[in-house]
Amino acid sequence: MGKKNRKKRIKHTKKPLVKFDKKQISAAEKNQHAEFLNIAAADYEKISGIINSHISNASKIIKGIYPLEILQCAFGKISVASIGKPSESDFSSEDVLLMKMLDYSHCLIVSVPPSHKGYEHLTKEKWEELKGHVFAIYSHLLPYFISATAKRKVSGGYDDKYEEFYTKAQMYWCMVKGERHINHMTTLLSSLLLPHNDVFEELFTISVNNFIIQLNKIREVLTEGLFKSGYKCKTLHAELFERLGPIEEINIPDGMELGQFFALKMEEFGLTDKFKQEAGRFFGYDLFDLQKVSTLPEKLLDELSWCPGENDDFFADGEFKGWPLNLLPTWNRPFIKIEGKYYCFDLYTLSDKIYRSMQKVIGRMKPDYKTLWNKRQKDISEQLPFDLFLDLLPGAKFYKSVYYRWKTGKQKKTNWSECDGLIIYQDHLFIIEIKAGSFTYTPPATDFPAYISSIKSLILTPIEQGQRFKEYLLSNDIVCLHDESHQPIAKLSHKQFRNITVCCLTIDNFTELAAQAQNLKNIVGGISGENNWVLSLDDLLVYKDILNNPLQFLHFVEQRNTAYRSCLMNLEDELDHLALYLKHNCYVQHAEEMIGNQANVRIVWEGARKEIDEFYSKSLVESMVPPPKQEMPTLMWQIIDRMAMKRRSYEARAVSALLNMDNIGRKEYLDSILTIATRTKGHGRPLPFSLIGNVDNTTLCHINGIDFDPAFNIIEHVLATTIIAGQQERLLIEIYLSSTLELEDVKVSLCKLSDLKPKDYIRIQKDAKNLTQNRIRQALKVGKIGRNHICPCGSGKKYKDCCLA
């Protein structure tokens, strides 16, 4: 029976998007805009002066207050503000500024020489004063960006797209932290640092494995320690009073203070040491004392720590002296040393920067190791992506370091070129290009050309290399792959791939820039070709956690490539793509449907990653937390999971067709399976049904214990349907059900007319004609067929243009 695939319909949600219309500007409005620009440009010096004034005042407070009190207070307030807020979208603007308060105060402490008069205690008034200055610094950054942009526009030589990216780069630099999910710190650091185990033991007498264990201890106390210690203090307090008995029966010796009595009893009950330990963490600084929460060697701690006032670079002379737009000292050394002890307050900076911090430390202590570090880093960074892809696509075929002869350079001379690798899974090809170099530590505010140069190295160069191999692949029906010695190792045809993706990977996390790779061509130039996917190893780890069906991962890649080609998907983070996919499936189409016929509309997505953030937040404290999943009927999940187990040739194409359906289409498809299966069970005849439109396949249900008539040939039926639809090939999905209609197996085949002999083709043509007549006859029994309805024959055309004619 013929079944039309419904047009995809995606449920509208109140969040997470906001629409902004770009209206036509009248002459009067243009004049107002020009006047605004002049005013904003004139405010540049004023706003810069305000920021500098707040930095100066904050520095004066910092130099006279005991540093640990400031950092502990900031940490405590952030911890309280974070309760019940697992996602960044839950945080208010004040919560975000509180996080910057800890980060920026730490930078000021290590960059401003302490007062020669010594430290004072932190009072509530001083805290509020300091907070006011730090909040003002960050709050004035947006007005600063506006005035700086206006100044450049008024001065001439202004470019909208360049200016937008320049501003965004500065905002990301000073506002984005927590780039890596803390859950992945162990996995990634183990892979990246284990090759350097010998130099770790040589310099610090600690193995890489032990180093990571100690980092995890720090992670645990900074994420859970405060609340655990508070709870334990409360528990010990309750235990003390329980053992003391009823209050009215407690006898306190004459002349003894209450506190002294409780202290004696705690000693008597063996609770003193436990209480001191937990109280030291909850009320004191023990929670942050690295020599109490870890066994990291002092030599290593010293290299990763700043003392108060030790850093000279943050306040070096320049336009952004002491600004958050500058290079933050904590990015190089995340710890602080005070009075001979080492402390850590900021877990996110530690997680984000520790790998590069260790690279700098070892390079500083052992300069002759830099070359070997880079070689080992290159080796592991070229292997790790393949390991992660094989986790995502079990059984995938891959080639590493592929050589081929193709046109290079401006003169387009034929030379040997290298591709870092190829990954093949069914009809998908990933062209892998890997960059092990670090993203620049040069702030975009102080040296934007260097910043752009780094982007070119990490994004543009690998895209060019990947597209070069793609050109080679498309140049002939079959091309040859070679090894390093230029010996042939395989042959490849582009015709076997339905989807080819150039995948550029880096070990540095820069998901905000990766998400906008398609827009960077306006800034860096030279980005060409379709299906360029730029991502970090951190992103791959997230995909591995959440997209645990390889065929669904391939469908996501298809949607991600569609987003790359769309001007609507100007997202702020690579993982926003995953979040939108989980929520809306074909999310580019969802955006197009929301905009409709409106022109010049831009969509801003807000809170898209909430479910992903909540998953990782729960995973820190709970085990076996289920990852977020796309909403889908259970039977559909069972079908695609069964297909994923096959690892043959056409399952990816079949799953792509099924997942391209919206929720209504999926439900109708599954309802058809169960309806047809029930009818098949009743009279034992095969009842294949076909979908037409964007989802072209024929489905046949087999029931355990029911044998079909041997004269029925499902392949010939599918080929007849293929001729009716004007196609050359069609997928056949065979669903195997138990007698109680539970799914047992799924089989996918591709039926092609080109496989038929001429005489068989003529016979199938007659079958197609008979099938067409039968379908029209059955449809007319139900009622009149509308002229503009889709023809019941299965051609996909309107009835008036098909069988009615």
pLDDT in tens, 240-266: 888 888 877 788 888 888 788 888 888
pLDDT at 441: 67
pLDDT at 439: 61
Question: How much of the chain, in percent, has pLDDT values that exceed 70?
Answer: 92
pLDDT at 167: 85
Residue 6: pLDDT band by 50, 70, 90 thresholds?
very low
Question: Between residues 163 and 787, which one has the greater pLDDT?
Answer: 787
Give the E-state strand segments of 426-495 in sequence order: 428-435, 479-482, 488-492
Please state which of the ranges 107-116, 310-319, 433-442, 718-727 shows the lowest mean pLDDT: 433-442
Q: b vs e for 612-629, b when ≥16 Cβ sit within 10 Å of the residue's Cβ? A: bbbbbbebeeeeeeeebe
Residue 8: pLDDT band by 50, 70, 90 thresholds?
very low
Going by C-alpha positions, the residue among 356, 358, 352, 346 that lies closest to residue 296 is 358
Scan for tokens 């005013």, then name that residue. Answer: 39
- Say if residue 350 is exposed, middle or buried (CB neighbours under 10 Å; 0-12, 13-18, 19+): buried
Question: How much of the chain, in percent, has pLDDT values that exceed 90?
Answer: 56
pLDDT in tens, 126-169: 999 999 999 999 999 999 999 999 998 888 767 777 787 888 88
Question: Between residues 369 and 682, which one has the greater pLDDT?
Answer: 369
Please state which of the ranges 231-235, 533-537, 782-786 shows the lowest mean pLDDT: 231-235
* CA distance linking residue 362 with residue 356, whole number of Å: 10
Q: What is the mean pLDDT of residues 369-390?
A: 93
| First-last CA distance in the chain | 21
- Cβ neighbours, 10 Å, residue 427: 18
CA distances for 628 relative to 186, 464, 609, angstroms = 22, 35, 10
Residue 2: pLDDT band by 50, 70, 90 thresholds?
very low
* CA distance linking residue 21 with residue 602, whole number of Å: 7
pLDDT in tens, 271-317: 888 888 877 778 889 999 999 999 999 999 999 999 999 999 999 99
pLDDT in tens, 612-659: 999 998 998 888 999 999 999 999 999 999 999 987 789 999 999 999
pLDDT in tens, 578-610: 999 999 999 999 998 888 887 777 777 777 888
